[in-house]
Chain A
Amino acid sequence: MSFAAVFAAVLGLAVPIAAAFAATAQGKVGAAAMEGIARQPEAAGDIGRNLIITLALIEALVIYALLTFFMLFGNIPTLIERLGQL
């Protein structure tokens, strides 16, 4: 039972950890893009397009963590049930 409790508690940490690192990375990307646009306003279109692609690539990693969360989240009742049988 305690294993299930630890499992449930740690599961909640997965997305925040992923989101924290992704936020750092996205902040860096955004800052660099803004600097680039400020230096060369005429390249704003190109930079903005690449910015969206890069942000989407980083975002995808958080989404993988969220998917894992949703998949494991549904298993907690089963886990508790099985551990209770032992």
Chain B
Amino acid sequence: MEEHAGSWINLLVNLEPEWLQRYLPLGVVTAWLVLLMVVLMAWLGTRRMQRVPTSGWQTLGEWAYNLCINFCRQIIGPGGERYAPLIGTLFAYILIMNLTGLVPGFASPTAGLNMTLALALVAVVGAGICGARAKGWRYLEHFVDGPLPLWPLMALIHLIGELARVLSLSFRLFGNIFAKEMVIGQVLVFLGSIVAMHQLSLLLRGPMVLGGTLFLHIPLLLLGLLVSLIQAVVFVMLTAAYIQGAVETHAESH
């Protein structure tokens, strides 16, 4: 797989020296900044909590908390609010990381496979741990079904299924965000190549670049907003569905 791809603006003007890109990738720095941002928002929201919130941060926090709890209850069912911290944190982290990539000079950490693979492992292993905590040893019944002689085979198949979940979660997020950044960057390169065409007069190039910016670049940035939100929602929705599959008891499912 390719190296960590820097910011999309680097395709036009290289703001980042190569040695920096090599030893301190922009995506890693951005991931730390986003982490600090999420922690700071949580800290501001829970500092000096009041029964009737007067600070905007507390209102925002309560709104997000309610949203998260309702989401978990809807998908995982009654008692789903126990898993709200995992789901909510994943959502906030992924959403802000996806959106950071739209800022020129920044790169989405999720546009690299390292970050998405780590997130997918957290989600799938987390779902397994949730299932094991909810059902104890009986969680292992998920991995075996059918007649007794077939159990090793079924266990193998289910293990491969878990692996496929990790791969599909990580590749979906990585692919979407990477494609978003690449498309924005390539359009920018295209506009730059128009600017560099000295054969054409400035009167012709100016409107072309203006039109390209208005009707190509800006709509793609707006599409990037949409893709960022949808992919974050899809990621946590699938995580919640995996948790639901892991913690549900057979009495409820039939």
Contact = CB atoms under 8 A, between A and B. Distances in A.
Interface stretch (B51-59, B171-179, B215-223): B171-179
Interface in A58-80: 59-60, 63-64, 66-67, 70-71, 74
Contact of B172 (A49, A63, A70, A71): A63
A56 interface: yes
B103 interface: no
B238 A53 contact: yes
Contacts, number: 45
Given A70-B182, A74-B2, A52 B233 contact: yes
B171 A56 contact: no
B168 interface: yes
Interface residues on B, range: 10 to 19
A31 B171 CA distance: 27
B75 A67 contact: no
Contact of B234 (A45, A52, A64, A66): A52
Contacts of B178: 67, 70
Nearest to A62: B175
A19 to B, nearest CB: 12
A74 B182 CA distance: 12
Nearest to A60: B172
A60 B168 contact: yes
B210 interface: no
Nearest to B179: A66
Interface residues of A, number: 15
B11 interface: no
**Most A Cβ at <10 Å: residue of B179, B230, B241:** B179
A53 B168 contact: no
B237 A66 contact: no
Contacts of A49: 74-75, 237
Nearest to A66: B179
Q: What are the 5 tightest A-B residue pairs by CB atom distance, in nearest-first order?
A: A63-B175, A56-B234, A60-B172, A67-B175, A66-B179
Interface of B: 1-2, 74-75, 168, 171-172, 174-176, 178-179, 182, 230, 233-234, 237-238, 241
